[in-house]
């Protein structure tokens, strides 16, 4: 078993009068970027004098999101391995070597007390360079199945912060701390907001509501499944808050036509995730680690449809970690179009199963992961 960190309740000595100097590396997706920013905010909360530098990948979304959060970022010219294109991989070794050289220079210039890797393209070169230069490192592994880069980096990391049990399959057991994944706390603050949510989405308090969310870009399978089962949902008089995602919104509207049923609220993006969660009786979602961390805090019955288009099929492994605890229902991506809406309607009509799922997923919540991880970061600078 991994151990649960007790650092959330400890007061730690902080790094000098000026605070620690910390590099946080990684990104590529919101699932990496939002936890990284949450850790940075927690470090600044511990000591406002903490100096933080982000290192990301050029052209990726962290180059926009991190400065918007108020932090400096330097980009590396790095890419991932392209599984579907051998030609695109020809430049990978060159870019990797160049990124490691630049990471070495960044570390020389910034002189960090510790480096944190949250996953994503830039995390590998930066943490590798830090290990070679004897700078203490911490890995925040978000998924239940560690990727190859983190497995390599974990051999030298002082601490590996994880969100799931059984991670000693991938990392040295004595360095694992079960902290959970940092969440966007404003997104899970749903208490007392049900009526406000219904008003926002123009929903009735007398009808049950399903929330469908495939992330900001959307999930094609979830959209196809909703289209396939739309008549069943309307016949059951069930309401739907349906986030299509940026890539699919216009095409979904075109397919629905001008007369969208009043029970169906179609949105491109959920600007108020807290109200979307508050409106829902049942949630249908992909199974990214950050999403699961938020769902555990929200404590609503959830059906997970893991994306098959991810490394090592890690979303399925994330979902199964909940299913084995009786905390979620899983529908495979390949079966979703035929089965998803039926499963959702079955769940809406089964109050006992709803309660069981809500109770069990709530037991897995770790809402203060950002603070716990930040204290682990400070601890490795003290012990170094």
Q: List residues bridging with 304 in a β-sheet.
A: 285, 330
- Asked whether the beta carbons of 120 and 57 are under 8 A apart, the reply is yes
29 marked ligand binding residue:
yes
Helices 289-298 and 314-323: angle between axes, nearest 10 degrees: 20
Of the candidates 12, 289, 311, the one whose C-alpha atom is nearest the C-alpha of residue 161 is 289
324 marked ligand binding residue:
no
Q: From CA 20, how far away is CA 86, in angstroms rounded?
A: 42
Q: From CA 47, how far away is CA 298, in angstroms rounded?
A: 29
What's the burial of 155, exposed, middle or buried (CB within 10 Å: 0-12/13-18/19+)?
exposed
- Asked whether the beta carbons of 292 and 183 are under 8 A apart, the reply is no
- Asked whether the beta carbons of 183 and 293 are under 8 A apart, the reply is yes
Q: Please tell me what DSSP assigns to residue 54.
A: E
30 marked ligand binding residue:
yes
Provide the annotated binding site.
Answer: 29-31, 143, 184, 216, 315
Provide the annotated binding site for UDP-N-acetyl-alpha-D-glucosamine.
Answer: 29-31, 143, 184, 216, 315
């Amino acid at each position: 078993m991994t151990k649960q960190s007790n650092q959330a309740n400890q007061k730690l000595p902080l790094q000098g009068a000026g605070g620690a100097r910390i590099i946080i590396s990684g990104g590529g997706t919101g699932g990496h970027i939002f936890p990284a920013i949450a850790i940075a905010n927690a470090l600044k909360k511990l000591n406002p004098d903490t100096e933080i530098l982000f290192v990301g990948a050029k052209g990726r979304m962290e180059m926009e999101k991190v400065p918007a959060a108020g932090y400096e970022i330097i980009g590396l010219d790095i890419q991932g391995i392209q599984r579907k294109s051998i030609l695109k991989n020809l430049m990978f070794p060159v870019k990797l070597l160049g990124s490691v050289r630049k990471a070495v220079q960044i570390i020389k210039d910034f002189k960090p007390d510790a480096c944190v890797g949250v996953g994503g393209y830039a995390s590998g070169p930066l943490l590798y360079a830090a290990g070679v230069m004897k700078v203490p490192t911490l890995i925040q592994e978000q998924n239940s199945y560690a990727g190859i880069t983190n497995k390599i980096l974990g051999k030298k990391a002082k601490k590996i912060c994880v969100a799931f049990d059984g991670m000693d399959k991938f990392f040295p057991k004595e360095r694992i701390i079960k902290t959970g994944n940092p969440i966007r706390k404003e997104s899970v603050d749903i208490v007392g907001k049900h009526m406000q949510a219904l008003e926002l989405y123009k929903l009735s308090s007398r009808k049950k509501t399903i929330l469908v969310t495939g992330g900001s870009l959307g999930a094609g399978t979830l959209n196809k499944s909703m289209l396939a089962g739309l008549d069943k949902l309307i016949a059951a008089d069930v309401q739907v808050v349906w986030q299509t995602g940026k890539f699919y919104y216009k095409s979904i509207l075109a397919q629905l036509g001008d007369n969208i049923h009043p029970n169906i609220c179609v949105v491109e993006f959920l600007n108020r995730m807290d109200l979307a969660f508050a409106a829902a009786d049942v949630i249908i979602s992909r199974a990214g680690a950050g999403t699961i961390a938020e769902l555990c805090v929200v404590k609503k019955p959830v059906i997970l449809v893991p994306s098959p288009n991810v490394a090592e099929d890690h979303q399925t492994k994330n979902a199964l970690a909940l299913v084995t605890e009786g905390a979620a229902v899983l529908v495979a991506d390949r079966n979703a179009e035929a089965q998803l809406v039926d499963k959702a309607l079955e769940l809406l009509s089964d109050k006992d199963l709803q309660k069981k799922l809500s109770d069990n997923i709530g037991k897995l919540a770790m809402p203060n992961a950002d603070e716990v991880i930040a204290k682990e970061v400070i601890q490795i600078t003290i012990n170094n």
